Amino acid sequence: MNLILFTFIVLLGFTSYYFGRKKAYTIQSTKKRLTALPQFYGYYLAIWCAIPAFIIFSLWAIFEPTIVKLLILSDYSNQGYLDDELNLLYEKSKALSRGQFTGEITPFIEASAEKYLSLRSIAQSSKVVIVLSAIIASVAYAYKRISSNSRTREPVEKFLNAVLFTASLAAILTTVGIVFSLIFQTIDFFKVIPLFDFVFGTHWYPAKAFVRDSSEALDPTMYSDTFGAVPIFAGTFFIAFIAMCVAIPIGLMSGIYLAEYASTKVRQYAKPLIEILAGIPTVVYGFFAALTVGPFLKELGTSMGLEVSAESALAAGGVMGIMIIPFISSLSDDVITSVPQSLRDGSYAMGATKSETIKRVIFPAALPGIVGSILLGVSRAIGETMIVVMASGLAANLTLNPLESTSTITAQIVVILIGDQAFGDPKTQAAFALGMSLFLVTLCLNIVALRVVKKYREKYE
Amino acid sequence: MNKNKEQLLNKRYKAEQRFRLYGLSAIFMALLFLTIFIFKIFSTGYSAFLKTWLIVPVTFDAELMMLDQNPSKEDLQDADYYDIALKSMADLDPNANEDQENELKRMVSYFFEKEIKNELLNDPNLIGKTKEVYLTASDDLDQVFKGNYPRDLPEDQRRVSDYQLKIFDQLVANGKVESKFNISFFTNADSREAELAGIASSFMGSIFSILVCLMIAFPVAVLAAIYLEEFAPKNRFTDFIEVNINNLAAVPSIVFGLLGLGVLLAIFHLPRSTPLVGGITLSLMTLPTIIIAARASLKAVPPSIREAALAMGASRMQTTMHHTVPLSMPGTLSGTIIGLAQALGETAPLILIGMVAFVNTIPGSPMDPAASLPVQIYIWAESAERGFVEKVSACIMVLLGFLIIMNLFAQIIRHKFEKKWS
């Protein structure tokens, strides 16, 4: 229904464009000068068609359900039902009207369902009538108004400008959405679990909170020693540290080699090949880490007499390091190439070899940019999910032994939220609290890193 | 003194060479990882494209099927195929006792009844006759035939019994086992049985999510980029938008999953586990990538184009829409494709919005529950059954194939249609 109406409105838009342009041509044929190209008269009318339709559609979407609900529940208003029961009744009659209701059908609910259906159809037809009449009225008004000296280009361009501006707000809206979705659950979580216990507690065992029967009242003492995030934070930074131990030397050295030593031909092939590593989906790395690297390390460890867990932090961190190599190598390559040639020439003129120039002149000059790229890499490592979920353990151990399994923020979020979850459960809220801390940490890292890189770029531009 | 100098110089040259070697070996290491990686995936995955069939003679006995004389099409549909299916398996070994007959039955997939039924529906004249029918082998025997199964394990640690292996080897010796291209891997939905599981449902899920993502992210991102690059006044607010976009591009993907869960599912009550929600979540994630690419390619259009248009009396909006934006499109499109390729490989946010549910139907619209290719990889990788390992690798190969095609496409657009200025 809505789709048909929508198509019809689009068609109306095209027709009004056509009429506007035609009127402009008629004016032109009377040897009067137009103030804008004929198309603009068409666009002008089309916009007058689109705006009322858009406004009425959104008002309808906001108010229709509430009004229908009010009308239906007015039947039950003096029978002493509680609010929750009324809501339930409403949902039941809605489900019945769609034919999805499975429970016992009482005459009351059936009557409401019928009423619901009739109200919906009234609402639909009145919507069609109102939208169409509003469009016709506004287009007719605008059609009358356009004459040879009326301005049409300016309003059309203003409208387009407003559309462009609205689109650019999408990024801000997304950020607001992220903060919004995280903050309420996080606040609810900290109402039950003290912030201190979360930040300094050393026992993370969310499954314990799940055993609770939902009918029991919340008992804060039950949750002590359940949501201590220290092992999670430690595990996150530990795995990120292992990843960086792999990624920094390899990434940095290949960046230096590509920027300073490699011939154009080698560079032409090696650079995109290394960047393939960045394009491989992380779930694929996770599978590789879990199925190949983990068992390989375990076997290797056993042959050397070491106790290695099949889901060791080393396997997850190492594979994550491989994934981060291209980020560091590309960025540091860019940074090093943008160091001005004069610095190199000066150093060579003093008799320094190439490696000495790199180590003593170029590296210090490029250091801020390199640090920025490393920070971006760290932020990636902390936010990486699938590798850890698949290759590292899911139980939170507080350990600094790379051969044991640990868990990370991201892995815990997935473990908690996979499958059905009840909002309002401290366990679910814990996932959002973890998400909040992840968001804050990576945000700080990103802001610092982006600022450092930007400052550095400006220095040599 | 001179000798000392020479020694020093030698030392410095050696250090130079060592440094160079470090760089070279770093690149070598990175490429080595890539090679191992791809080799590993392909070597475990290619066999999933083959499927093992057992060729079993089936006697279409009308009495066992409870069919009358001259049965109609409906009768054939409703006939009882279980008994003849069971009997033809049991006939593989005439001396089998009851337990062994059970084991014989488990040598093929539980789908075997249906396969026999289809054979008869295709050719109703078969009633009363015997025909050799291709039956899907069970996933364990499939692995045995492909040589991935540790046959030397003690019997109680294997899911395949010695008896089954004996019969299977006889069949192999008689040429009654065949390996053919695995079409069902591409046409079946997910299944708990490895031999029947396919990628059709997750593939459609991926396609729908990417389409939704494209339809939302592309227009919004391009419009936003046009505003920021061509119209935005330079002030605090636009700076803030810019910082925001750069930050969003580096926010971990799982946070977007939390956004989808906390806003799209919990507040707007959109249907869980659907490509619609997945696509919206992914579109928020790809938005900054496309904005950044579109801005870069708008920036690359030389100012002389704009100046020429303005000098001819075009308004700023006309200049932008008629000249700058069309010229920037190749760069924008290739950036969009790369952003979509990223979104296609994304797993974590989709898991959070419930696209990991087991779906054994092929979704027909973005509003039906579905998985996606990367999520399918995750689901299968978590399964314990041996048969799924090669499926995971094969699914990865399909996914990587798509990513390669998309990236190539982006490269082609960039090189073919982008104007080189200067």
What are B353-375's pLDDT values in tens digits?
Answer: 888 878 888 888 888 888 899 99
B274-314 tens-digit pLDDT = 999 999 999 999 999 999 999 999 999 999 999 999 999 99
Min Cα separation A412/chain B (Å): 11
Min Cα separation A351/chain B (Å): 11
Min Cα separation B361/chain A (Å): 19
Rounded distance between C-alpha atoms, residue A236 and residue A409, angstroms: 6
Mean local confidence (pLDDT), B32-60: 86
Min Cα separation B376/chain A (Å): 10
Mean local confidence (pLDDT), A33-51: 86
| CB contact (8 A) between residue B247 and residue A286 | no
Identity of the residue in A178, A286, A447 whose CB atom sits nearest the CB atom of B255: A178
3-class secondary-structure state, position B92: coil
Residue A163 has pLDDT above 90, yes or no: yes
Instruction: Please give the pLDDT value at position A113.
Output: 79
- Cα nearest neighbour of B340 on chain A: A279
Min Cα separation B128/chain A (Å): 46
Specify whether the CB–CB gap between B355 and B258 falls below 8 A: no
A348-372 tens-digit pLDDT = 999 999 999 999 999 998 988 899 8
User: What contacts B140, CB < 8 A, 6 or more positions away?
Assistant: B149, B159, B160, B386, B387
Domains of chain A: residue spans and CATH: 2-154 (no CATH), 230-460 (1.10.3720.10)
Residue A215 has pLDDT above 70, yes or no: no
**Please, what is the average pLDDT of chain B?**
86
**Any CB–CB contact under 8 A between B243 and chain A?**
yes
User: What contacts A232, CB < 8 A, 6 or more positions away?
Assistant: A204, A396, A407, A408, A409, A412, A434
Rounded distance between C-alpha atoms, residue B138 and residue B178, angstroms: 13
**Any CB–CB contact under 8 A between B227 and chain A?**
yes
Put simply, the chain A residues between 226 and 285 with a CB less than 8 A from any chain B CB are 249-254, 256-258, 260-262, 270, 273-274, 276-277, 279-284
Per DSSP, the residues of B192-215 read SSTTT--SHHHHHHHHHHHHHHHH
Q: Give the C-alpha distances (Å, rounded to integers) separating B163 from A391, B96, B170.
A: 37, 10, 11
Residue B21 has pLDDT above 80, yes or no: yes
Specify whether the CB–CB gap between B213 and B340 falls below 8 A: yes
The residue among A182, A186, A143 whose CA lies nearest residue A46 is: A143
The number of C-beta contacts closer than 8 angstroms across A and B is: 259
Instruction: Please give the pLDDT value at position A93.
Output: 76
Residue A416 has pLDDT above 70, yes or no: yes
A367-402 tens-digit pLDDT = 888 998 999 899 999 999 999 999 887 777 777 778
- Give contacts of B243 with chain A, Cβ < 8 Å: 447, 450
Residue A218 has pLDDT above 60, yes or no: no
Instruction: Please give the pLDDT value at position B181.
Output: 86
Rounded distance between C-alpha atoms, residue A243 and residue A240, angstroms: 5
Q: Which of B27, B324, B334 to mutate to test the interface with A (most CBs of A within 10 A)?
A: B27
Residue B9 has pLDDT above 80, yes or no: yes
Rounded distance between C-alpha atoms, residue A309 and residue A314, angstroms: 10
| CB contact (8 A) between residue A177 and residue B382 | no
Instruction: Please give the pLDDT value at position A223.
Output: 64
| CB contact (8 A) between residue B30 and residue A254 | yes
Rounded distance between C-alpha atoms, residue A221 and residue B50, angstroms: 57
User: What contacts B65, CB < 8 A, 6 or more positions away?
Assistant: B79, B80, B81, B83, B84, B127
Specify whether the CB–CB gap between B301 and B328 falls below 8 A: yes
What the block records as the tokens of A214 is 């939902």
3-class secondary-structure state, position A228: coil
Rg over CA atoms, chain B: 30
Percent of chain B with pLDDT over 90: 40
- Give contacts of B388 with chain A, Cβ < 8 Å: none
Specify whether the CB–CB gap between B52 and B140 falls below 8 A: no
- Give contacts of A269 with chain B, Cβ < 8 Å: none
Residue linked to tokens 């932008």? B320
Rounded distance between C-alpha atoms, residue A343 and residue A353, angstroms: 13
Instruction: Please give the pLDDT value at position B97.
Output: 81
Instruction: Please give the pLDDT value at position A208.
Output: 65
User: What contacts A297, CB < 8 A, 6 or more positions away?
Assistant: A308, A312, A314, A315, A403
Mean local confidence (pLDDT), B395-419: 90
Residue A133 has pLDDT above 60, yes or no: yes
Percent of chain B with pLDDT over 70: 100
Min Cα separation A139/chain B (Å): 24
Residue A222 has pLDDT above 90, yes or no: no
**Any CB–CB contact under 8 A between B382 and chain A?**
yes
Class of the domain covering B200-417: mainly alpha
Residue B69 has pLDDT above 80, yes or no: no
B83-97 tens-digit pLDDT = 877 788 887 777 778
Rounded distance between C-alpha atoms, residue A444 and residue A447, angstroms: 5
Per DSSP, the residues of B253-285 read HHHHHHHIIIIIITTS-PPTT-HHHHHHHHHHH
Rounded distance between C-alpha atoms, residue A127 and residue A6, angstroms: 12
Residue B186 has pLDDT above 90, yes or no: no
Identity of the residue in A167, A290, A438 whose CB atom sits nearest the CB atom of B381: A290
User: How would residue B57 be classed by pLDDT, with cut points 50, 70 and 90?
Assistant: confident
Rg over CA atoms, chain A: 32
Identity of the residue in B29, B240, B378 whose CB atom sits nearest the CB atom of A283: B378
3-class secondary-structure state, position B134: strand
Query: For residues A188 and B307, which has the higher predicted lDDT (pLDDT)?
Result: B307
Q: Which sign does the torsion angle of CA A295, A301, A302, A308 carry?
A: negative
**Any CB–CB contact under 8 A between A384 and chain B?**
yes
Residue A211 has pLDDT above 60, yes or no: no
Instruction: Please give the pLDDT value at position A196.
Output: 82
**Any CB–CB contact under 8 A between A329 and chain B?**
yes
Mean local confidence (pLDDT), B384-411: 88
**Any CB–CB contact under 8 A between A435 and chain B?**
yes
pTM of the model: 0.86
Instruction: Please give the pLDDT value at position B147.
Output: 77
Query: Which range scores top for mean pLDDT: A31-40, A431-440, B381-390?
Result: A431-440
Residue B224 has pLDDT above 70, yes or no: yes
Min Cα separation B384/chain A (Å): 12
- Cα nearest neighbour of B240 on chain A: A172
A270-302 tens-digit pLDDT = 888 998 898 899 999 999 998 888 888 888 888
Within 10 angstroms of residue B247's Cβ, the number of other Cβ atoms is: 17
Instruction: Please give the pLDDT value at position B50.
Output: 84
| CB contact (8 A) between residue A169 and residue B241 | yes
Domain with CATH 1.10.3720.10 in chain B: 200-417
Rounded distance between C-alpha atoms, residue B334 and residue B234, angstroms: 28
Rounded distance between C-alpha atoms, residue B182 and residue B49, angstroms: 5
